[in-house]
Amino acid sequence: MRRLLWLLLAAVAAQVGAAPLRLEQVAPGVYVHIGQHKDFEEGYDGDIANIGFVVGRDGVAVIDTGGSYAVGMALKEALRTITRLPIRYVINTHVHPDHVFGNAAFVEDSPRFIGHAKLREAMALRGDGYLRKLTKQLGSAAVNSRLVAPGETVQDRLSLDLGGRKLELRAWPNAHTNNDLSVFDATSGTLWTGDLLFIERTPSIDGDVKGWLAAMDALDKLPAAATIPGHGPVTRDKHQALARQRAYLDALLRDVRASIRQGSGMLEAMETAASSERGHWQLFDVVNRRNVNALYPALEWE
């Protein structure tokens, strides 16, 4: 049964600069903090991604850590109100800063940091830019934030044992990014998709849309009692959530291709592409424009 746990971490928050976290227990031993629907450019505070952890008999696996050291620390303090078991693993679903900057808060626990086979390279390429932007966005609240690369990577699949509880990690080809990783908890039937799935928040493109659609087809076939997206509420109806995301991506592809065929420029396409989807998604105008900016040049060369 789902229950909400309000964790009042005011003293900790004052020290690390993070707001108190709300945790939702979506299955026995599975906890998630639902991030806010805020844009990176306005009002961003590092707390927009879904992050959380799975508790086994012998240890804990953290799955994504938030967009700053402060958020990562608040997550860890929330975790410690649930269990004192050792944190064995920190798993990153992909490179985006709202999912990984909290890694630094867990270094002292000496977990195994795990990610996609291409995550380490992506962090190296983007790390300096990500940190400069975070410092500009958060100011002093960005203190101690840094990227911590995985010590262990997943080329295809990897199974982790938390003690009577196995997590199945799967690396995906180029999709939302080129370093997407999903996590399936077989005990509870809970699937963590990272940003392969957005709910409510407009999906953002940083990889290959056609590859993303193929990954979604595969995700749709996986059994899951509960699915935790990278953004938005937990769902018990993965099929419907994926269909909603597919409708947006299909419309975006169709409309950008039509603009190119008709000779419309990219700026015009930013105003018209996927406009039929506007009412279905939060942050649509700002994220959709970025998506067109990323997609238009690629589709010109189809």
Domains in the chain: boundaries: 3-236, 244-302
Label residue 13 by pLDDT band (50, 70, 90).
very low
Give the model's pLDDT for residue 21: 85
Q: What is the dihedral of CA 98, 101, 103, 104, to 10 degrees?
A: -160
What is the amino acid identity at position 102?
A: G
User: What is the amino acid identity at position 132?
Assistant: R
Are residues 62 and 50 in contact, defined by beta-carbon separation less than 8 angstroms?
A: no
Structure tokens at 175: 């999709």
Strands 112-116, 152-154: pairing kind: parallel
Residue 42's pLDDT band, with cuts at 50, 70 and 90, is confident
Q: Which phi and psi angles does 212 have, rounded to 5°?
A: -65, -45
Whether residue 10 is predicted with pLDDT greater than 50 in this model: the reply is no
Contact of 227 with 241, CB cutoff 8 Å:
yes
What whole-number distance in Å separates Cα of residue 46 and Cα of residue 291? 21
pLDDT above 90: residue 296: yes
Going by the DSSP 8-state scheme, the letter that residue 6 receives in this structure is: E
What integer pLDDT is reported at residue 20 of this predicted model? 59
Q: For position 40, what pLDDT does the model report? A: 87
pLDDT digits (tens, 9 = 90+) for 177-187: 999 999 999 99
Place of tokens 């952890």: 53
CATH code, 3-236: 3.60.15.10
Burial of 156 (0-12, 13-18, 19+ CB in 10 A): exposed
- Determine the pLDDT at residue 11: 35
Q: What is the mean pLDDT of residues 273-290?
A: 97
When mean pLDDT is compared across 18-32, 41-55, 63-77, 107-121, the lowest value belongs to 18-32
- State the pairing for strand pair 87-91/226-231: unpaired
Does residue 29 surpass a pLDDT of 90? Answer: yes
> At 279, is the secondary structure helix, strand, or coil?
helix
Structure tokens at 224: 């899951």
Cα–Cα dist 300/231, whole Å = 30
- Split at pLDDT 50, 70, 90, the class of 3 is very low
Contact 79, 111 (CB under 8 A): no
pLDDT value, residue 6? 31
- Answer yes or no: are the C-beta atoms of 161 and 147 closer than 8 Å: no
Q: State the first-to-last Cα distance of the chain, in angstroms, to the nearest integer.
A: 48
pLDDT at 14 over 90: no
Residue with tokens 């800063």: 97
pLDDT tens readout for residues 235-256: 999 999 999 999 999 999 999 9
Give this prediction's pTM.
Answer: 0.92
**Nearest-angstrom CA–CA distance, 26 and 28:** 7
- Edge-to-edge strand list for the sheet holding 157-161: 157-161, 166-171, 181-185, 190-198, 226-231
Q: What is the pLDDT of residue 83?
A: 96
Is the pLDDT reported for residue 15 higher than 60? no
Percent of the chain with pLDDT over 70: 93
Biggest alpha carbon distance in the chain? Answer: 61
Query: Given this model, what pLDDT does residue 5 score?
Result: 35
